[in-house]
Amino acid sequence: MLAGKKILLAVCGSIAAYKTAFFVRLLVKEGAEVKVIMTESAKDFITPLTLATLSKNPVHSQYFDNTSGEWHNHVELGMWADLMLIAPLSANTLGKMANGICDNLLLATYLSAKCPVLVAPAMDLDMYQHPTTQENLNRLISYGNEVIEARDGELASGLSGQGRMAEPEELLEIVKKKLTNSAALKGKRVLITSGPTFEAIDPVRFIGNHSSGKMGSALTKAFQDAGAETIIISGPATYLPSSGEVIKVNSANEMLAHAEKYHSDADIVVFSAAVSDYRPENPATEKIKKKEDSLQINLVKNPDIAAELGKKKKHQFHVGFALETTNEEVNAQEKLKKKNFDLIVLNSLNDEGAGFQQDTNKVTFFDKNNNKHKFELKSKTAVAQDIVNQVIKNFE
């Protein structure tokens, strides 16, 4: 299944490094070509000889061979790979990656890699939970890397909790999925709405919401990884994707105008934006002065972008979101029909870790055939991947 695929495995200093021997063996058995980079401290946990023998390729650690002078080109290694997996990822290397530090071959290769980069952290539970570690992992996600979260279980320290590297068999499945999906949506154009909309009250104030753009950015990345071309129309969000076409707007009317322009050429449309349903009827042209004890602002209905484009839908596959606080499932199913979606992704603000600004989300899918699929709380990257997988099924 991985015949012809080139995988660059980068190993850091962690007790979980012993698992890479099994992992390399599994990759090679699947037909993959494997090259390994090790940090110096990784060699305290597993020998280069073991990984060189199993991968059938010399292991790289230094920029050049001290005795022969042979140069190990990090740019070539990064270009060679179809996928780079850093496993186990130590807190030390994570910190360096998040801050652009480049003091060894692994880091130089990471910085020059053009292929998807996945990381599988492994460390003690307190280290894993430390805000610095979590912030660094989020930084990697914002650079477009994929984090294979550490698993729960017994740790080398004797403690028990989240910190174990995913098992070799799990890593293999993730790599397979990633590589086989990489061309599944080749030639498809995906239009994504993302972020909040800001509806002006006056030149200073607006009606808005808490959407950060994290969900829309994760979706963009996941569709790109599946080979699709993406256009994201984003309200004023903190998070924007680092590649693909990005159109920035403020209001719902602007978002609709751009979405209408790109809709006919799109194959897939994902409505992840939190669009303001109302806007001030007559925004003031100058800052409203504080005079009276109360202030009335008349609001008028904004266009419903998803519903408008739902009326014009021909070949396009439409994915909507439903953000609910009560009667969640019934409301989501009503929106699926009313807005002519093919799939709706329900997230509820009653679920801890779900919704605005979170790095995680807990969703339930409903499709037009009344199929329901409930997912656990997971990273927005993983939720985006689930959505892409569902869309791919429709194009198979």
**Closer Cβ to ligand PMT, 16 or 305, answer by number:** 305
- 272 touches ligand PMT by CB under 6 A: yes
Q: Using CB under 6 A, count the residues that bind ligand PMT.
A: 28
- Of 19, 335, 362, 378, the one binding ligand PMT (CB under 6 A) is 335
- 316 touches ligand PMT by CB under 6 A: no
- Of 51, 175, 268, 323, the one binding ligand PMT (CB under 6 A) is 323
Question: Looking at 2-10, 175-183, 240-248, 319-327, which segment touches ligand PMT (CB under 6 A)?
Answer: 319-327
- Of 30, 260, 277, 367, the one binding ligand PMT (CB under 6 A) is 277
Quick one: tokens of 148?
């294979």
Question: Looking at 22-30, 75-83, 94-102, 314-322, which segment touches ligand PMT (CB under 6 A)?
Answer: 314-322
| Footprint on residues 159-218 left by ligand PMT (CB under 6 A) | 193, 195, 211-215
Find the shortest distance in angstroms from Cβ 222 to ligand PMT. 13
131/126 Cα distance (integer angstroms): 10
57 is catalytic: no
- 262 touches ligand PMT by CB under 6 A: no
Find the shortest distance in angstroms from Cβ 261 to ligand PMT. 15
Quick one: tokens of 249?
């707007």
Find the shortest distance in angstroms from Cβ 212 to ligand PMT. 3
- Of 182, 355, 364, 382, the one binding ligand PMT (CB under 6 A) is 355
303/324 Cα distance (integer angstroms): 19
User: Residue 88: is the preceding peptide bond cis (ω within 30°)?
Assistant: yes
- 230 touches ligand PMT by CB under 6 A: no
Question: Looking at 1-9, 70-78, 93-101, 266-274, which segment touches ligand PMT (CB under 6 A)?
Answer: 266-274
Question: Looking at 7-15, 91-99, 219-227, 352-360, which segment touches ligand PMT (CB under 6 A)?
Answer: 352-360
Q: Which of 57, 73, 209, 331 is catalytic?
A: 209
Residues that bind ligand PMT (CB under 6 A): 193, 195, 211-215, 252, 271-275, 277, 302, 304-306, 320-323, 335, 339, 347, 355-357
Active-site residue list: 209
